[in-house]
Amino acid sequence: MGSGYVGLVTSACLADLGNAVLCIDIDERRVDRLRDGHLPIYEPGLEELVGRNRDRGRLSFSADVAFAVKSCEILFICVGTPSLPAGEVDMSYVHEAARSIGRYAEDYKIVVNKSTVPVGTGGEVGSIIAAEWPDADVDVVSNPEFLREGSAIDDFLHPDRVVIGASGVRARDAVIDLYRPLYERDVPMVLTDLQSAEMIKYASNAMLAAKISFINEIASLCEACDADVAAVARGMGLDDRIGPRNLGAGAGYGGSCFPKDVQGLAATARNKAVEAPVLQAIDRSNSIQRQRMVDKLRGLLGGFEGRTVCLLGLSFKPDTDDIREAPALELAETLLGEGAAVQAYDPAAMDLAAALLPALGCCGDPYGAAEGADALVLMTEWNEFRNLDWPRIRAGLAAPRLLDCRNLYDPREMAGLGFEYVSVGRPSPGPGQDPGRPAPVG
C-alpha cells in the first residue's frame, strides 16, 4: 500500500525474492505511469528491477484498493509519515490505510507496518481496523525498513538484519517466509515484539544522525585547534567500538529519514514525559552545522548581494534525486533571499529543485554552472564531481574560490591549483602554495 520510495523498492525486491506482489496507490495517474515503466523516483537499478519483475508477472500495479485488500494475504503499509510542525509524526496516511483494510477485508489478514511509525502504532493500527471491521481477524506486524537512498536495492537484498516484531507465531512465520532467500543465507532475523521493532528503527536512525552531528562538532573544534578532522575521524573509526561509518564531516544530514525520525523520537520522549536531552541536541546540532556552511561562504565572499554562486549538487546525498531537507536547498534559499544569483548543476535533482526554487539557474554541466561565478560550492559528493577539469573550472570562474562542504578534494592540491579553498574541519593552505605530499590520513 503506497508506491513511494519505500513502497516501490519493497514491492520490487519482494517480487525479486519470488513473491507475487501487487503494489497499489490511490493516485491513478501514477499507477498508469508505473504500468508503462515510468518510475516516480530515481534510484540506481530500480527501473530494471521493476521492469524485470513486471515482465515476469511477479509485480503488478493497481489503484483498486478494495480489490487489493480482498485478494492479498499480507498487506504492507508503505505510506508517508511526514513531520508535523512540532516534530510529531503525521499519521494520517497510515490511519487511512488501516481504515481501508478494515473496510474491505473479508478474511484473515496480516498487516505489516513498513512505514517508519512511532512506538505503539501497531496497536493503533489494529484498533482502527477493528473499528471498521468489528469481527476483525487480523495480526499486525512491524517490519521496519533500513534503506539508504542510492543503495536501497542492495540494502534490501543484502541487509545487516531483518527486524520482525509480532505478537503471534502465525504472522511472524508468514513474514519470515517472505524473506526465505535471505533467511537461508543466514541474514540475521531479529524476532521481537511490536513495540521493540518500532523502537529499533527510530533508535537506529537517531544513532546514525547523532554520529554525523558529533563528527561535525568535532570538525568545528578541529578548525579552532588547527587539527585535521579527516585524521581524527580515521583515528576514531579504527576503534571497533566506534567504527568508521558516518564519520565524514560535512554540511549536515538531510533527506526523508534522519530529520523527521530524530524529531519524531524526541516528540515521543516529550509525550511520554521522558527527559531526552541527547535526542533534542542532535537536531539542534545539525541546524547549527548547516548555518556554518552559510557562514563559511559568507566569509569567502564578504556578502551575498550581487554575487553569483555555483552550487554543485542539490540532492541531500549522491545517487538520489531526493531534495527533502537537503542542505543545498537551504543554502540556495539563503543566497537567493539575500540577493545572490545561483547557478546549479545536479545529475538527477535539478527538475525537482527548479520546481521548488524557480529563481534557481539550472545548468547542463558543472562547467556551465561555474561560468562567471564568484565562488563554487560543492554540496553533494556525486562521483562525477571527483575528477573535474579544474583548470577549466578555474578559467570559467570570476574568482577562484571553492567551498568544499563534503571534504571531497585535497586541500593542498586545490591550493596548488590556485584556489582559495575552504573545507570542513581541515586546514586550508593559501592559494598557490606548493601542494607537496598530502598527509596520510586515509
* Residue 248, helix vs strand vs coil: coil
3-state DSSP helix/strand/coil % of the chain, to nearest 5: 45, 15, 40
CA atoms within 13 A on the CB side of 18: 6
**CA angle, residues 283, 289, 293, in degrees to nearest 5:** 145
Q: How far apart are CA 304 and CA 408, in angstroms?
A: 24
CA separation for the pair 103, 251 (Å, rounded)? 46
Rounded Cα distance, 73 and 333, in Å: 47
Which residues neighbour 160 within 8 Å (Cβ) at sequence distance 6 or greater?
A: 146, 188
257 is catalytic: yes
Rounded to whole angstroms, the Cα distance separating 217 from 94 reads 36
Residue with cell 542510492: 150
Provide the grid cell at 23.
503494489
Q: Which of 257, 362, 363, 405 is catalytic?
A: 257
What is the C-alpha to C-alpha distance for residues 380 and 397, in angstroms, rounded to an integer? Answer: 19
What count of other Cβ atoms lies within 10 Å of the Cβ of residue 30?
18
Residues belonging to the active site: 257
